[in-house]
Structure 1
C-alpha cells in the first residue's frame, strides 16, 4: 500500500487531528461499518464515522496488533477493551495513487463488542450532531 496513505492513517490514530483525517480521505471514499447495513459514500459521512470511532475506541487500550499490505491496500488488525469487553477487529483500507483513502471497511468481533460499539457510536454521532446544531445557532 502507498506508504503515504498508511503513514497518514497511523499519524491520525496517534494525533486525532481532524485536518489529518480530512486530508486523508478521497472526496468519493466509501465507508463500510459493522453496524450500518449500507455502504456510506463520500468524505463528509466517512469523516463523521471515523472521527466518532476515534472518540469511542481511541482510549489507552486500543492497539494495532498485525498488519498485512500490498501496493494499494492494507488490513490492520486491532484490539481494544471497553467496559470490560474485549473487542477485536480489522480495518481494510484501500488507497488511490495519490495516497488518499478510497475505501475503508471495518469488521469487528465478538457480537457483544459489536452491540456495545453500535450503542456507543450512536451516542457519539448524536453528540456530534448536537454540537453541530448548537454551533450553527
Structure 2
C-alpha cells in the first residue's frame, strides 16, 4: 500500500504533507491551471478532506518502476456520488512531485467544484500562512 494512501485513509494531514516534494504540482479535476508548490497542494488536500464524505480507496495500481501510482476512490460531496482517481508520480527523492486528480460523473465533479470553491479563500490563506516570509533585501 502506498504511503499516500495510508496517510489519506488515516486523515493525517501532516503525514500527507510530509510526502509532498517542495516543487509538487497539483492538477485539479475542476480547475484549468495546475497549482504548484507544497504549501498550496497541502492546503488543497486539507480542503478536500473537509468536503469529501464517506471517502474510501477502492483500488491501487502501481507502475513497474514504482514511481507511478493510481489510487481509485469513491466519496460523496453534498449528496452526490463521486468516483475518481489520484494519479501520483514519485521523484528520485521518494517524494510526490506530481499529483493529478480526476473525477466523474459530471454531477459529482460539479458538486466538488462548488464545495471546493466555497473552501478556496481558506485554502489560499492556509497556503500563504505556510510559506515563510522572504528575507529582507540588503
- How high is the TM-score relative to the length of structure 1? 0.81
CA distance, structure 2, for counterparts of residue 22 and residue 29 of structure 1 = 11
Q: Deviations over 1:79-100 (max 9, x none)?
A: 1123332110010001113221
CA distance, structure 2, for counterparts of residue 132 and residue 77 of structure 1 = 26
- Which of 14, 34, 37 is the equivalent residue of 2:29? 34
Q: Does 1:104 align with 2:90?
A: no
Unaligned runs of 5+ in 1: none
Aligned-pair CA distance for 1:37: 0.2
- Which of 7, 20, 23 is the equivalent residue of 2:18? 23
CA distance, structure 2, for counterparts of residue 132 and residue 53 of structure 1 = 14
Equivalent residues of 2:44, 2:123 under 8 A apart: no
Unaligned runs of 5+ in 2: 129-138
Q: Deviations over 1:73-124 (max 9, x none)?
A: 1011101123332110010001113221100000001111111101111112
Classify the secondary structure of the residue corresponding to 2:33. Answer: coil
Q: How many residues align?
A: 126
Q: Does 1:65 align with 2:58?
A: yes
- How high is the TM-score relative to the length of structure 2? 0.81
> Structure 1 runs of 4+ off > 3 angstroms?
127-133
